[in-house]
């Protein structure tokens, strides 16, 4: 099996679905944000606070490349698709699965979340705008699109297994 990259907006369920997919497939699951936190020995929100987004994005690209192409499931951070370089790497090195989810559901899940630096000072409509700005990029990068809006984590995982 080629590496499976799960991409999608914050709150789309990448981490949770990745975990279940790992159990069902028997493949290792590597979470990019966890790897960045380990490498920096800091939480994502503190990396943003202390060093800023540009630094975080640099680390994100480094980790993406370090993880390499071992057969595994990689749960990415929602912004990994923002750089051309990252998109090219994803496309060349695995199967890219976009977990789509309607923005109304996403903003509900993200309400009150203080761990995600990019949304903590945004209004719900600003988060929806950000979702719409990113949507074409996720779609362009994806080999497979799974709409998780009305699915449980189990159902979404089954659908991924059927499609890969």
Annotated binding site for Mg(2+): 15
Q: Which residues pair with 75 in a beta bridge?
A: 6, 31
List all residues 6 or more positions away from 43 whose beta carbon is below 8 Å from its beta carbon: 37, 115
Percent helix, strand, coil in the chain, to 5, is 55, 15, 30
One of 18, 22, 78, 94 touching ligand S3P (CB under 6 A): 78
The footprint of ligand S3P on residues 84-113 (CB under 6 A) is none
**Could you tell me the end-to-end alpha-carbon distance of the chain, in angstroms, rounded to an integer?**
9
Q: If binding is defined by CB under 6 A, does position 13 make contact with ligand S3P?
A: no
Q: Which stretch binds ligand S3P (CB under 6 A): 10-18, 64-72, 93-101, 151-159?
A: 10-18
Q: Determine the Cα angle at 92 with ends 89 and 97, to 5°.
A: 85
Nearest-approach distance from CB 115 to ligand S3P, in angstroms = 8
Q: 3-state DSSP call for residue 122?
A: coil
Q: Which is nearer to ligand S3P, 101 or 162 (CB)?
A: 101
118 binds ligand S3P (CB under 6 A): yes
**Which residues does the annotation place in the binding site?**
11-16, 33, 57, 78, 116, 134
Cβ proximity to ligand S3P: between 26 and 122 the closer is 122
Give me the helices (H) in 52-123, please. 53-67, 84-93, 103-110
Residue 137 binding ligand S3P, by CB under 6 A = no
117 binds ligand S3P per the rule CB under 6 A? yes
Provide the sign of the torsion angle of the four alpha carbons 138, 96, 55, 105, taken in this order: positive
Identify the residue among 6, 44, 74, 90 touching ligand S3P (CB under 6 A): 44
| Positions that interact with ligand S3P (CB under 6 A) | 10, 14-15, 33, 44, 77-79, 116-118
């Amino acid at each position: 099996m080629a590496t499976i990259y799960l991409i999608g907006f914050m709150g789309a369920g990448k981490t949770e679905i990745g975990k279940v997919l790992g159990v069902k497939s028997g493949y290792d699951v590597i979470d990019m944000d966890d790897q960045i936190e380990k490498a920096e020995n800091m939480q994502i929100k503190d990396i943003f606070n202390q060093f800023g987004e540009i630094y975080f994005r640099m680390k994100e690209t480094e980790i993406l490349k370090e993880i390499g192409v071992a057969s595994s499931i990689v749960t990415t951070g929602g912004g990994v698709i923002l750089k051309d370089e990252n998109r090219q790497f994803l496309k060349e090195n695995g199967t890219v699965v976009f977990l789509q989810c309607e923005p109304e559901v996403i903003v509900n899940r993200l309400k009150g979340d203080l761990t995600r630096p990019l949304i903590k000072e945004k209004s719900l409509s600003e988060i929806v705008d950000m979702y719409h700005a990113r949507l074409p990029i996720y779609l362009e990068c994806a080999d497979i699109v799974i709409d998780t809006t009305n699915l449980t984590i189990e159902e979404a995982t089954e659908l991924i297994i059927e499609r890969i």
